[in-house]
A and B are shown apart, each in its own frame.
Chain A
């Protein structure tokens, strides 16, 4: 099956903890992305990686860092979570113009 896969589906943690989310795509795409969807359902770009190189960083807090081992994987690490980090994090990939999304990881920070 070719798609965008994300783990975990859900994660509940406490303020100050470190979390890491995984994303893998089997579509053979060159570019991967992380988006954040807040409680108002607005989707915003966080990072874009093209063939392991960061090409866009939409001024997210420094506690967020993307990590890529190869062009099929793009993980997201949050060093010390804050309450406002509670959201759904969506991973996507693209080869040309069209983007394909994973199912998302819902983070709840207590």
Chain B
């Protein structure tokens, strides 16, 4: 089965609302990264957060390692936040990332 599960698969918000994205993984993760993929396809690293809570701008990620889950909170969403949010983990020392299937976020004006 897939090692990284993301929910919800899709999410539609009105501009200004907050978003909460979930990532659950089946194996111990030595690293966890959240990515944003634009509708055009480019992949951008948002946060690297293997444990604890990290903030950057309107993004907050909380990873509870022993429970094998991470969340990404987007506050005050904007239309430009629309795209796919991907969670990825490393399970070994080989630095290889295993990706979830993503949450497609649509923010409407």
Asked if A and B are interacting partners, one says: yes
Which residues on A are within 8 Å of B, measured CB to CB?
Answer: 31, 33, 35, 40-45, 48, 50, 55-56, 58, 88, 90, 92, 94, 97-101, 103-104, 106
Q: Name the 9 nearest CB pairs between A and B, nearest first.
A: A43-B99, A101-B43, A97-B31, A98-B48, A45-B96, A103-B42, A56-B94, A56-B96, A42-B101
CB distance from A68 to the nearest CB of B (A): 16
In the complex, how many angstroms separate the beta carbon of B3 from the nearest chain A beta carbon?
A: 11
Closest beta carbon of chain B to A62's beta carbon, Å: 20
Q: What are 14 pairs between A and B in contact, CB < 8 Å?
A: A33-B95, A33-B96, A41-B101, A41-B102, A43-B97, A44-B99, A45-B98, A50-B95, A56-B96, A90-B43, A92-B97, A99-B97, A100-B45, A101-B44
How many positions in chain B have a CB within 8 Å of any CB in the partner chain? 24
Where chain B touches its partner, the secondary structure class is: strand
Instruction: Tell me which of A56, A88, A97 contacts B48 (CB under 8 A).
Output: A97
Q: A45-B98, A56-B94 given as contacts; is B41 within 8 A of A103 (CB)?
A: yes
Q: Which residues of B contact A33 (CB under 8 A)?
A: 95-97
Closest residue to A99 on the B side, CB-wise? B97
A2 to chain B, nearest CB (A): 14
CA distance A35 to B95 in the complex (A): 13
